[in-house]
Amino acid sequence: MSSSKTMGARPRRRLPSSAEVLRTQRRERISLALRYIILSGVGLLMLYPLFWLLGASFKSNQEIFTTIWFLPKDLTQLLDFSAYYNGWMTRTEFTFATYFLNSFLIVVPRVIVTLISCTLVAYSFARFEYPGKKFLFSIMIGTMLLPPIVLRVPQYLMFKELGMIDTYWPLILPSAFAIDTFFTFLVVQFLRGIPRDMEEAAIIDGCNALQLLWHIVVPLLKPALISVALFQFIWTMNDFIGPLIYISTVEKYPVSLALKMSMDVSGEVDWANIIAISIVALLPSLTVFFLAQRYFIEGATSSGIKG
Amino acid sequence: MASVNLEKIVKTYPNGFEAVHGVDLEVRDGEFMVFVGPSGCSKSTILRMIAGLESISGGELKIGNTVVNNLRAKERGIAMVFQNYALYPHMKVYDNMAFGLKLAGLPKQEIHERVTQAAQMLEMEHLLDRLPRQLSGGQAQRVAVGRCIVKRPEVFLFDEPLSNLDAKLRASMRVRLTELHRELRERGEPSTAIYVTHDQVEAMTMGERICVLKDGTIQQVDSPTTLYDRPVNAFVAGFIGSPEMNIRNATVVAHDGGLGVELGDTLLPLPASFADVLSNRVGQKVQFGIRPEHIGTPQSVLGAAQHGNLATVKGTFRLREHMGNEVYTYFELGGHEFAARIPTDFAGEIDRAERGQPIELSFIMGKAHIFDLDTGLNLTVAANPLS
């Protein structure tokens, strides 16, 4: 204690294991345990439907509709993957391999054109001055407020005129014109948050507008573009209405339509098959999400520019 | 090798606001020129116009013998260090430095040579493999400077490059940059530099000449010492120096066969050298200026007696700030507040003075300035001795 006086620092004495300290430590432990119990309980409750879904893919129809417990009564059923096999093969002439391929034929080009169009449009809104910019931007934001269903009818008629019904074009083409306003808006806001210094430095280094975009702006936008790609992937993968309206040939069905189709082929449905295949249908989105998550977090931390 | 010539340079923004009003300036070849001024004085705008990041609304800008008004930034032979360093965050230090050279299409071997040479010069070879986010502020600043050096530009532009560093680092970087400039010049490499800052210490220590700006017009362009000893107007006088010059309203009066200034109830005699310029202003209001270090205790100013015209008066003590070697003393005189910088060894009674206590202070009147009340012009500029 005497040294603390000369050092001018806070007294650093060893904590005695007195009753008071023990009491405090016990109280802290109990409150921590309580918090964890409550949080885990709520977490489990929210995830339970997912567990149930997983378990149900190994159950018989009768068991699915009579039990709430997620594991099948007979645990050996967990080794029986026939529902996955049957679901995958479907009762049509095509397997889900076709449907997954179809889905990717829509999703991958759509993600790519979305990234390109969003970046270009956002770059112009965030970095260039031209007459009518504010007006155009507010129109763009305005379209964000429109319910998408309003556009369905005129869009359908338009694509019908263009002879694109029953092709993937109506599902991909709009994204090539940055019609996904939300994504454009997201990238614009992100870009506005990035100081212009780096771009100015690159101008002095000799970049023209396109080199600037490619060498500087796109790398800076990486975290935002990864989120755009991620959301567009998941949303397009899950999109049901779009394909339902435009695709009529079973051979061209994406996963979402094929799933629905397997439900109403006949009166008696083997639910385990459908549940099994819907779990498989979740996998691409989940995989992409977990792969991207790393960059997502990395991007969020690295974009902090020391000021 | 290039000088930079600004002739009647004007900047008008699309909304009609005129930020720069016909600036004329010559930055000589190899010179280190500092633009200094308060925020909003358009010093950065002028720099950005030289860089090619802002369009030039009027006038002519020459780098070397070429008019560069309509040339793009990369064709002007300039390189710029930004306040936020502006390193490309996704490129390693090496690539940051090499980027401009790659765009210019230089052969790989030469790029490598230039980058390693610059890295050696800045003692940062060990940083070449890092990403900008792994650098400290000072290191990032060095990389930003290195990125300029490799380009071997005709003109270096610095936009408040040290303002994001902490005080200690700023002081050492200041010395480093000055040394670097001298080194480049001695090697015979192009080294004309224009440095923008709002920090007058940076301006005074780094600049070979300083250009003081206010509201888009040049106030004075001169060497640091001339600027300090012979400011052309009250703005320059007040801007350069810390604590700033005491500039207070006063009246010129006839006194004892010569002239003096009257501040409230106090009369300070003016040196005979001021008589010529001020004789027709007797009875008129002017601004009286004197730097804090030219006010002291009677003991502390003894050495300055050679300048003559010591005026010893009684002021009312208000506050002191101990800076270690000096005591900043704030006191009242003739209804005005004054600041004085007094060496601690000579502080004497001031060290113990209470608020409101009368203290004895000496003004070195030979170092005083008289400014016109309305225009702020320094009437005594020619009469002030250079130190």
CA distance B162 to chain A (A): 12
Q: What is the rounded CA–CA span in Å between residue B380 and residue B377?
A: 9
Q: What is the rounded CA–CA span in Å between residue B44 and residue B79?
A: 15
Structure tokens at B66: 């070429």
Among B91, B133, B147, the strongest candidate for a mutation testing the A interface, having the largest count of A CBs within 10 A, is B133
List residues bridging with B217 in a β-sheet: B214
Give chain B positions within 8 Å (CB) of A222.
90
List residues bridging with B248 in a β-sheet: B288
- For B332-355, the pLDDT digits (tens) are 998 899 999 999 988 888 888 899
CB contact under 8 A, B100 and A197: no
CA distance A123 to chain B (A): 18
Give DSSP secondary structure letters for chain A: -HHHHHH-SPP-PPPP--HHHHHHHHHHHHHHHHHHHHHHHHHHHHHHHHHHHHHHTTS-HHHHTT--SSS-SSGGGGG--HHHHHHHH-SSSS-HHHHHHHHHHHHHHHHHHHHHHHHHHHHHHHH---TTHHHHHHHHHHHHHS-HHHHHHHHHHHHHHTT-TTSSHHHHGGGGGT--HHHHHHHHHHHHTS-THHHHHHHHHT--HHHIIIIIIHHHHHHHHHHHHHHHHHHHHH--HHHHHH---GGG--HHHHHHHHHSSSSS--HHHHHHHHHHHHHHHHHHHHHHHHHHHHHHHHT----
CATH topology of domain A90-265: MetI-like fold (1.10.3720)
Predicted confidence at residue B258, as pLDDT, reads 85
Query: How many CB atoms sit inside 10 A of residue A18's CB?
Result: 9
Predicted confidence at residue A302, as pLDDT, reads 47
Among A205, A210, A213, A220, the strongest candidate for a mutation testing the B interface, having the largest count of B CBs within 10 A, is A205
Instruction: Give me the phi and psi of B296, to 5 degrees please.
Output: -155, -175
Three-class DSSP category at B279: helix
Answer whether B258's CB lies under 8 Å from B278's CB: no
Residue B19 CB-half CA count within 13 A: 20
Q: Which residues of chain B have pLDDT under 50?
A: none
Give chain A positions within 8 Å (CB) of B151.
205
CB contact under 8 A, B88 and A195: no
Answer whether B212's CB lies under 8 Å from B240's CB: yes
Predicted confidence at residue A15, as pLDDT, reads 57
Residue in B51, B78, B88 closest to A216 by CB? B88
Predicted confidence at residue A8, as pLDDT, reads 47
CB contact under 8 A, B78 and A204: yes
Answer whether B334's CB lies under 8 Å from B355's CB: no
Q: What is the rounded CA–CA span in Å between residue B378 and residue A242?
A: 78
- pLDDT of chain A, 307 residues: tens digit per residue: 444 444 445 555 655 668 888 899 999 999 999 999 999 999 999 999 999 988 988 888 888 888 888 888 888 888 888 888 888 888 778 889 999 999 999 999 999 999 999 999 999 999 988 999 999 999 999 988 888 788 888 999 999 999 999 999 999 999 999 888 989 998 999 899 888 889 999 999 999 888 999 999 999 898 889 989 998 999 999 999 999 999 999 899 999 998 888 877 666 778 888 889 899 998 998 898 888 887 765 554 444 444 3
- What residues of chain A have any CB closer than 8 angstroms to a CB in chain B? 195, 197-198, 200-207, 211, 215-216, 219-220, 222, 302-303, 305-307
User: What is the number of H-type helices and E-type strands within chain B?
Assistant: 9, 20
Three-class DSSP category at B57: coil
Which domains, ranges and CATH numbers included, belong to chain B? 4-222 (3.40.50.300), 246-383 (2.40.50.140)
Query: How many CB atoms sit inside 10 A of residue A186's CB?
Result: 18
Instruction: Give me the phi and psi of B11, to 5 degrees please.
Output: -125, 120
Residue of A nearest to B90 (CA): A219
B185 exposed, middle or buried (CB, 10 Å; 0-12, 13-18, 19+)?
middle
- For B280-332, the pLDDT digits (tens) are 889 999 999 999 999 998 888 877 766 567 888 999 999 999 999 999 999 99
Of A231, A230, A195, give the one whose Cα is nearest residue A216: A195
Give chain A positions within 8 Å (CB) of B87.
198, 201
Predicted confidence at residue A307, as pLDDT, reads 35
Q: Where are the domains of chain A?
A: 16-73, 90-265
Give chain B positions within 8 Å (CB) of A307.
84, 164
CA distance A279 to chain B (A): 38
Of B211, B155, B209, B199, give the one whose Cα is nearest residue B173: B199
Predicted confidence at residue B191, as pLDDT, reads 85
Residue in B83, B100, B164 closest to A205 by CB? B100
Residue of A nearest to B14 (CA): A129
Predicted confidence at residue B352, as pLDDT, reads 87
CB contact under 8 A, A219 and B88: yes
Of B78, B218, B217, B73, give the one whose Cα is nearest residue B152: B78
Residue in A203, A215, A220 closest to B89 by CB? A220
CA distance B331 to chain A (A): 35
DSSP designation for B385 = P
CB contact under 8 A, A201 and B84: no
Of B298, B293, B291, B314, give the one whose Cα is nearest residue B362: B298
Three-class DSSP category at B174: helix
Q: What is the rounded CA–CA span in Å between residue B373 and residue B247?
A: 11
Residue in B80, B88, B140 closest to A198 by CB? B88
Residue with tokens 């060893």, as numbered in its chain: A14
Q: What is the rounded CA–CA span in Å between residue A297 and residue B347?
A: 60
Predicted confidence at residue A35, as pLDDT, reads 96
Structure tokens at B253: 């009066």
Of B187, B184, B289, B298, give the one whose Cα is nearest residue B241: B289
Of B230, B240, B237, give the one whose Cα is nearest residue B203: B240
Give chain B positions within 8 Å (CB) of A302.
89, 133
Predicted confidence at residue A273, as pLDDT, reads 86
CB contact under 8 A, B80 and A201: yes
